[in-house]
Amino acid sequence: MADSQSKLHVYNTLSRKKELFEPLNPPFVGMYVCGPTVYGDAHLGHAKSYVAFDVILRYLRYLDYKVRYVQNITDVGHLVGNGDDGEDKLAKKARLEQSDPMEIAEKYTYTYFRDMDALNVLRPDISPRATGHIPEQIEMIETLIEKGHAYEVNGNVYFEVSSDPDYGKLSGRKLEEAESGTRVETASDKKAPEDFALWKKADDGHLMKWHSPWSEGYPGWHVECSAMSNKYLGESFDIHGGGLENQFPHHECEIAQSECAHGKEFVKYWLHNNMVTLEGQKMGKSLGNAISLEQFFTGDHRLLTRSWAPEVIRFFLLQSHYRSTTDFSEDALEAAETGLKNLHSMVNTIEKAENGPGDAYDVESFRSAFDTAMNDDFNSAQGIAVLFEHLKELRKRITNGSSPSNLDEVKAYIRKVVDGVMGIWPSGSGDGKADVTEGLVQLLIEIRKEARANKDFALSDKIRDDLKELGVQLMDGKDGTTFEID
């Protein structure tokens, strides 16, 4: 059943090609995605990345893979500004907010999950914190020193890039090029400018520091992902994801550390999502043009004229491919909102209908079209187009009185893809109050029916208009009046 005609192919940054997806140990799949550095509110760019990988996760599970999804929380500050002289991000934020770095990390970890929950992003199976894995990181650094891939100077430990012949295989960057870059700080104790820190000795006043064989200090940024992915997914695993901008240096360094430490291939498939742009510019924290998710949800931002529901944001993002840039505009959001509303309306109509006298619906062709779209490197935009086509056709049949004889089966599949894979099921129907609301609206419909029978159109229009104000849309059809709640 899982193999209609096509099989899942994913674009692997390592080969720069689409490759047939074949897990190392089927049906198990290990997936690691770089999580946020928790020193600020999550913005639309985070949403694109994590919604994309959420659908990737959901689709893999739809294909019956047993996925373990690990996403780190970076709660150790990393350096700000140029070279190694900058200030720790979390420490800086802590100073600005007059609190402790761990308090900052806790606060933004909370808001991160809050916002992701709102976007209907499934929680990772494991969300390891960098600060909770200092011993693992130290152990990895020790291994690298033993194997001659790292060296210690003045309490600092650096990875020696020239000791790794494969360095650059992900980003296509060569050593000579890195060295020629004039913007690389050379005034440090590193042997070579491209060497990167595994452990840094803490300055006086540095707030986050730990004991290590080399100094009181803190780990380099890249080593946390290597150590934690190794701990929870093993020395080799299937998928590593993250934002395009992490390709270099972060992911390149992860590969170097992990492969030099373990002597085997680190990750089989590297997946990178593209950026969200705003007026053609990358949206980013450091660029100061980021609109946070909370601001979208409340509408409280100078570039927003109103608030936008989380499901609209999710749907909007899924309408473009994860490897394409997504250019944000309120016009585009509005189009997405209307489109989603129509999709929900179709789903609701189908959900309310029952098996009818019509021909059986070809669920297999539905499934095949959807799988073909998603098998092509998780083409969610195409997948949504397939949903529209089939939902439209189904609604047409139902409206024409020829509801398919196997509608139950169709509904089950719709639930699987719309809810299970895309995560865009209509919300707000199902809680206890819904029944009361339905009853009340039904009552008003009855009253209005009498008014219409008496040609009291003033009253019937008032009922309809006032209900619309409340977000309830009445629709008069041949077989009576139906309604939709916003």
Partner RNA sequence: GGCGACAUGGCCGAGUGGCUAGGCAGAGGUCUGCAAAACCUCGUACGGCGGUUCGAAUCCGCCUGUCGCCUCCA
Q: Which of residues 297-326 bind RNA (CB under 7 A)?
A: 319-321, 324-326
Q: Which is nearer to RNA, 29 or 347 (CB)?
A: 347
Residue in 99, 281, 307, 365 binding RNA, rule: CB under 7 A: 281
Tokens for 428, please give them: 């707000």
338 binds RNA (CB under 7 A): yes
Q: Which of residues 412-451 bind RNA (CB under 7 A)?
A: none
**Rounded Cα distance, 284 and 279, in Å:** 13
Least Å distance, CB 190 to RNA, is: 12
Least Å distance, CB 262 to RNA, is: 23
Residue in 8, 10, 29, 34 binding RNA, rule: CB under 7 A: 34
Residue 10 phi/psi, 5-degree rounding, is -125, 145
Least Å distance, CB 37 to RNA, is: 4
Residue in 376, 405, 425, 485 binding RNA, rule: CB under 7 A: 376
Q: Which stretch binds RNA (CB under 7 A): 155-163, 232-240, 296-304, 374-382?
A: 374-382
17 binds RNA (CB under 7 A): no
Residue in 30, 219, 242, 423 binding RNA, rule: CB under 7 A: 242
190 binds RNA (CB under 7 A): no
Cα four-point dihedral sign 139, 144, 146, 150: negative
**Rounded Cα distance, 56 and 424, in Å:** 14
Residue in 1, 165, 187, 286 binding RNA, rule: CB under 7 A: 286
Q: Which stretch binds RNA (CB under 7 A): 93-101, 140-148, 260-268, 471-479?
A: 471-479
Q: Which of residues 198-217 bind RNA (CB under 7 A)?
A: none
Q: Which is nearer to RNA, 24 or 335 (CB)?
A: 335
273 binds RNA (CB under 7 A): yes
Q: Which is nearer to RNA, 212 or 277 (CB)?
A: 277
Q: Which stretch binds RNA (CB under 7 A): 96-104, 204-212, 359-367, 469-477?
A: 469-477
Cα four-point dihedral sign 170, 172, 174, 178: negative
Q: Which stretch binds RNA (CB under 7 A): 34-42, 94-102, 141-149, 206-214?
A: 34-42
Least Å distance, CB 13 to RNA, is: 9
Residue in 10, 23, 37, 58 binding RNA, rule: CB under 7 A: 37
Q: Which of residues 147-186 bind RNA (CB under 7 A)?
A: 171-173, 177-178, 181, 183-184
Q: Which of residues 72-101 bind RNA (CB under 7 A)?
A: 74, 78-80, 82, 89
Least Å distance, CB 131 to RNA, is: 15
Least Å distance, CB 229 to RNA, is: 14
276 binds RNA (CB under 7 A): yes
469 binds RNA (CB under 7 A): no
Least Å distance, CB 132 to RNA, is: 18
**Rounded Cα distance, 116 and 110, in Å:** 10
